[in-house]
Structure 1
């Protein structure tokens, strides 16, 4: 089974001149369903990749596992999934990811996705160009991005799925601060020294990854416009004592879906969705099962229709869960 993929070059005007000097033009792979003939129009699922990944990661071959396009092709052949396009954006940065937000430290990736990529896809392919025929989904950082963008842009999306998405920052991010502080201490507290060592190494130490991940989150949630990359962010803790910087931490929390859901506008946005699907592994290493349970409880309390599932697995290698969400999303956006 060979799914049909077309790769579009999106100019990325929104990303031109970004602070990290990352490419503005991006290659965006798109899965085309079997009956796509350039005439019939289809709904679109925007599938957001996790941290340190791009849309191309959804097409990677892995022994014993199907790629996402292969899964979609099989699901359609089995009659379990409606035909639709699947767009796999590239919102990568030199820090490992953008969290799909606008930040003066990385670039305007939220604006790029909503105001540039979506119109570009609608103008380039045979889509049903209306929010009611558009869905957004993702896992981990991609799940966070999908849920947050669905809350902020209900006119753009009518369905959303969040797989193990970042939320409840108190549980998913704070426990990693001491490890990141210890790594930074090895570089005498110098972020630039760490970044140079990490990016110049032919094989960066896996144990150093938590600090790179933290820097990416800080660049997204607490940018520092007075400094230049790679120090153009404010850490949410004191690197020496690991004491929380309350001012910076409060900035982070404004991005937390568990905080966002307390606002009436976001409650109304989620309530307007035809489908809101969330799932998480019960053994998630980032404590996200607890976070998703709480989000589900809050959503129920606000009368937001949704479906939440847990499955017996951890955070990694769970792309098979798209076999559950893609059929639901495709049905929600079909004609």
Structure 2
């Protein structure tokens, strides 16, 4: 990583042995190395709050640390903001919840593994045991973009005892608008393989680079593994698709399982509304040109949040879905302030 500030952010790789991931259906490793950003005064005799930053689909914690020209990494963003005194000193933990399918959606699934449990119990526990943290929900936040934003919002809804602030950047929501429009594209790709999911994966994994134009199917297969696993089948076919591969029509029984994960639908549950109401900060944003229609989903969600009187911060900006890591310059200082000592 090359710093744009002249000062190298301090990073460590914290090993986290996931007992909950042992024997997972995909044979993915249970021992993960998690990049962690440590603030400048970490060596002083003080403790720090923690932001858990979740990567999007096909990315992992290490993705936040990669150098890219004109695009500072998350540790560089934090280092600069702290140096400018516009952000409180905070530990940033970047979990590895990657799977062979490209991502876990940070849920417990019979098709991939117990990644929700791994994150809220084992990762949080490892950070508190090994680092100079201010323990307790009051000093923890969860954030992410795209699938990571979905994960952050859903975890905040389900684990108010663990997190007291959350930020969701362009997170998956309003599944009717964001996922269902891609059913025909995924069906067209699967037809090239005669409907054979195993054949698709065999070619995908064997290719020297991802096959061009097949991401829509890869994405929906991973979502199927997360939201509608099939215990009766072996990987890589241990999932039920929410659409008919021949006609692209929605399979309503499976689709209803997916809908149960939709943050917009989850908000109808009183326990989830109470969880969000308990947050010190709920930050939500999305680009106005998002290719997955997530700006519309966010507007639906915030309308419901207003209806229920749940405090939140809603922002929109003129951009598409990708290449928006600069938005962390807005959310990270706000989260750090909310969970400071």
Place the TM-score, normalised by the shorter chain, in its bin. Answer: over 0.9
Distance 2:194 2:103 in 1: 25
> Which residue does 2:206 correspond to in 1?
200
Equivalent position of 1:140 in the other structure: 146
Distance 1:192 1:39 in 2: 54
Residue number among 278, 292, 295 corresponding to 1:289 in the alignment:
295
| Matching residue within 150, 161, 166 for 2:172 | 166
Residue from 37, 46, 54 that aligns with 2:52: 46
Q: In structure 2, what is the equivalent of residue 104 of structure 1?
A: 110
Confirm or deny that 1:262 pairs with 2:268: yes
1:127-169: CA deviation from partner (whole Å, max 9, x where unpaired): 0110000000000000000000000000101100000000000
Distance 2:40 2:181 in 1: 45
> Counterpart in 2 of 1:119?
125
Conserved 8 A contact 1:38-1:126: no
Structure 1 residues 38 and 101, CA gap change in structure 2 (3 angstroms): farther
Cα distance in 2 for partners of 1:244, 1:84 equals 45
Between 226-235 and 202-211, report the one with greater CA deviation. 202-211
Would the aligned equivalents of 1:38 and 1:125 in 2 still touch at CA under 8 Å?
no
Instruction: Quote how far apart the aligned CAs of 1:38 are.
Output: 6.3
* Equivalent of residue 278 in structure 1, options 284, 308, 315: 284
Give the drift of 1:206: 2.4
Equivalent position of 1:216 in the other structure: 222
Structure 1 unaligned residues grouped into runs of 5+: none
CA RMSD of aligned residues (A): 0.6
Q: Secondary structure of 2:71's match? A: coil
CA deviation profile, 1:185-240 (whole Å, cap 9, x unmatched): 00001000111011111122120111111110000000000000000000001000
The structure 2 residue matched to 1:331, chosen from 318, 323, 337, is 337
1: CA distance, partners of 2:38 / 2:327: 20
Partner of 1:304: 310
How many corresponding residue pairs? 335
Whole-Å separation in 2 of the counterparts to 1:146 and 1:220: 15
Alignment of 1:239-254 (within 5 A): 239-254=245-260
Q: How does 1:9-28 map onto structure 2 within 5 Å?
A: 9-28=15-34
Runs of 4+ more than 3 Å apart: none
- TM norm structure 2: 0.98
Q: Which residue matches 2:184?
A: 178
In structure 2, how many angstroms separate the alpha carbons of the residues matched to 1:170 and 1:287? Answer: 10
Match of 1:30 in 2: 36
Q: Distance in 1 between matches of 2:267 and 2:135?
A: 28
| Matching residue within 232, 255, 266 for 2:238 | 232
From 52, 55, 79, the counterpart of 1:73: 79
Tell me the equivalent position of 2:4: none
SS in 2 for 1:47: strand
SS of corresponding position for 2:97: coil
User: Quick one: distance in 1 between partners of 2:184 and 2:212?
Assistant: 16
SS at match of 2:314: strand
Does the 8 Å CA contact 1:7/1:29 hold for their aligned counterparts?
Answer: yes
Q: Secondary structure at the match of 2:214?
A: helix
Kindly state the Cα deviation for residue 115 of structure 1 after the two structures are TM-superposed.
1.0
Distance 1:174 1:104 in 2: 23
Structure 2 unaligned segments of length 5 or more: list them. Answer: 1-6
